[in-house]
Structure 1
Amino acid sequence: METLKYRFEGRTAPSSRLDHVLVGVVSSGNLEVLIEPVPLDGAMEIEITTAARGFGQIWQAVLDDFAARHALKDVRITIHDVGATPAVVSLRLDQAVETLQEGGDA
């Protein structure tokens, strides 16, 4: 297992009152994304635990793209990965943000 940590400056606070959002499932080739609003001085922190070691540059590229599209502030994102492709990672992250912004009605 490998743990990767990233921090991005955010611009937009989540509009939801939910205390967390969880999407996805940890199983072969997939991942789970947990988003929690927490005070982080305007930052977004992302921590990944992955079974696929040595893909830090790919994670960085996927998360740079995500942070450019969703510059959330004061949120912690936790990802548990079992070898998901970058497309699945992006899909799950977008799904989690959409669920958070809709207040959990998705």
Structure 2
Amino acid sequence: MEKLQFQYKTDKPIERPVHIGVVGSGDLEIIMEPLEGGVTTVSLLTGSDGFGQVWDNVLGRFFTRYQITAHVTVHDFGATPGVVALRFAQVLEVLNYAE
């Protein structure tokens, strides 16, 4: 297991918590909690060691594009890139996020 921490400059605080997905084989869970300020924090626990740069690239693109400010917890259990994209798209849907 590897625990990763990331921070991204953002400017659109969420108003309510969000919980998407489950911790299970090939899946992941995303929990977002409201956070004040202009920085999103991400705590990620993954069973796949050595992918820190990949996660930073994926998360960096997402938070650059969507600017959501929150404390984010991700529990990854071997999710594929498609599942990661699906879960983050579900977060946007639950938040009613429109660009």
Q: TM-score scaled by structure 1? A: 0.83
Structure 2 gaps of 5+ residues are none
Structure 1 spans left out of the alignment, 5+ residues: none
**3-state SS of 1:101 partner:** coil
Aligned length: 97
Q: CA RMSD in A?
A: 1.4
Letter in 2 for 1:69: R
| Residue 88 (str. 1) matches residue 83 (str. 2) | yes
Of 64, 70, 76, which aligns to 2:71? 76
Question: Residue 97 of structure 1: CA displacement?
Answer: 2.9
Instruction: Give me the whole-angstrom Cα distance separating, in 1, the residues matched to 2:35 and 2:60.
Output: 21
TM-score, length basis structure 2:
0.88
| Identity across the alignment (%) | 39
**Runs (4+) off by over 6 Å:** none
CA shift digits 1:65-86 (9 cap, x unpaired) = 111221112x101000001012
User: Matched residues in 1 for 2:34 and 2:79: separation?
Assistant: 24
Greater strand content = 2
